[in-house]
Structure 1
Amino acid sequence: PLVRRLMHDLPHPAFVLNLRWDVLGFNAPADQLWGFSSHSPERRNLLWLLFTDPVLRERVDAWEEQAPLMLSSFRRDFARATQEADIHELVDELEQVSPEFKAWWRKHDVHAACNGVRKLMIDGKAESFEHTSLTIDEDRHLRLVIYARQQDGAASDR
């Protein structure tokens, strides 16, 4: 309830993820940016959308560079959730439907959490967003992901 209120009060795109990267909640700006509500709740998984949704693929500027980085960040969460069958099912299913996922997953790359700057295509123009994740429930491994448009003159891409 408090997290939901906080998320909905934020002017920036914000959403809640678990270790499997299921999108458990999101605010209106996040829905405009990522299109979560256009997918059924069981398919609102950031990793699934990243590799299977052509609209989202077009939204992420330099997708071929960003997707493997995001996947390697997911691998950190995967390592913490190896006892959960549904996370293995997600990986198995993605390997069947996405050749890129399959190839990059087998590289076993692991990177730090996805924080920094990401460019997203808005109305045909690449716009920079600073993004970060905040742990909101350590026991249930939930985090709030926030994307804020980078201000002019802000630090360059990391």
Structure 2
Amino acid sequence: MAEDVTGSRRRAELRAFLMSRRARVSPAEAGLPAGGSRRRTPGLRREEVAVLAGVGASWYQWLEQGRDISVSPQVLNSVARVLRLGDAERRHLYVLAGLNPPAPEVAPERRDMCDGLRRLIDTWMPYPAHIMDRYYTCVMYNEAAAAVLGMGPGGSQNCLVDFFTDPLYRARSRSWESNARAVVAQFRAACAAAPGDEGLQAVLAEVSAASAEFTALWEQRDIEDAGQLRKELDHPLVGLLSVESTALKVPARPDLTIVLHTPLDEANTAAKLEWLASPEGRRGALYPVAG
């Protein structure tokens, strides 16, 4: 019964959504002649959407009515194109039609968000924060990440590769053994979500060739969503640091992951991070820890 109610609501929302999107697209925007009979409602008619999308008029009418009909991703993409849907709207259409939505894409107008993300991680000071792309490459980090986690111009700039190949990180990370399985399981989940992504396959090939330990963990086929990891690091200036890293996604930039490190109560970590960010701590930070 609950499923019937949910389906009824979804079909009603599908009808309202398609009607609202039709109303906002003018015939001229759709490439149709400006002439013709007077329109009772703004936007495109159902028949016009059907012709432009290459589907039958009856089929489109049934889709808009929310009838139980066969729907394919290719047809929904054609309808989305005619109705000039953005990426979020197109994925919403998939959900309303009862299909799994495609992977999110970065809208062109959202590609200029990096200044805002830079302000976000800089505001996180004196705690470490960095941003990775979909291939685990570090694209942005704050000063605390450089001082505490050793992020900088050196190294591969790939967080996954460095985790398994950077001897300095391995030597100073007390939590390496406990976190390695989760790191690999999260990377496998990312690869599974994009099986045809050549960039992810290139990273997989690189780290597999460089680390037998990674290969052994990869063969276990564990899957885990990115979330939180506890990290314990031995910093040469302040000793033990206990932090919790949290991976965050911004829906408008699905290609990026923000990783914020929060001090835990152990080892007076917050005070140590504040000292490392002070002028005195910066003068003494000659031997950063990779992470």
Q: CA, structure 1 residues 71+13, in 2 after alignment: closer, same or farther (shift >3 Å)?
A: same
* Alignment match, 1:20: 135
Q: Which residues of 2 match residues 132-151 of structure 1 at below 5 A? A: 132-151=246-265
Segments of 4+ in structure 1 off by > 3 A?
137-140
* Alignment match, 1:8: 122
Alpha-carbon distance, 1:97 to partner: 1.3
* Alignment match, 2:187: 74
SS in 1 for 2:233: strand
Which residue, 155, 162, 165 being the options, matches 1:52?
Answer: 165
**TM-score, length-normalised on structure 2?**
0.48
- Structure 1 unmatched ranges of 5 or more: 154-158
Structure showing greater radius of gyration is 2
CA distance, structure 1, for counterparts of residue 251 and residue 131 of structure 2: 10
* Alignment match, 1:120: 233
- Structure 2 unmatched ranges of 5 or more: 1-114, 268-291
- Superimposed CA distance per residue, residues 66-117 of structure 1 (whole angstroms, 9 cap, x where no aligned partner): 1122111222222223222121111112111111011111111112324042
CA contact (8 A) 1:19 1:78 kept: no
Structure whose residues are more often strand by fraction: 1
Kindly indicate whether structure 1 or structure 2 has the higher relative contact order, using CA contacts under 8 Å at least 6 residues apart: 1
Alpha-carbon distance, 1:118 to partner: 2.1
Structure whose residues are more often helix by fraction: 2
Number of positions where the alignment pairs a residue of Structure 1 with one of Structure 2:
151
Q: Is residue 92 from structure 1 mapped to residue 209 from structure 2 by the alignment?
A: no
Alpha-carbon distance, 1:33 to partner: 1.9
- Superimposed CA distance per residue, residues 98-141 of structure 1 (whole angstroms, 9 cap, x where no aligned partner): 11011111111112324042222223843210221221244433
CA RMSD of aligned residues (A): 2.0
Identity fraction in percent:
25
Q: Is residue 33 from structure 1 mapped to residue 33 from structure 2 by the alignment?
A: no
Q: Which amino acid aligns with 2:139?
A: L
CA distance, structure 2, for counterparts of residue 89 and residue 32 of structure 1: 29
**TM-score, length-normalised on structure 1?**
0.84
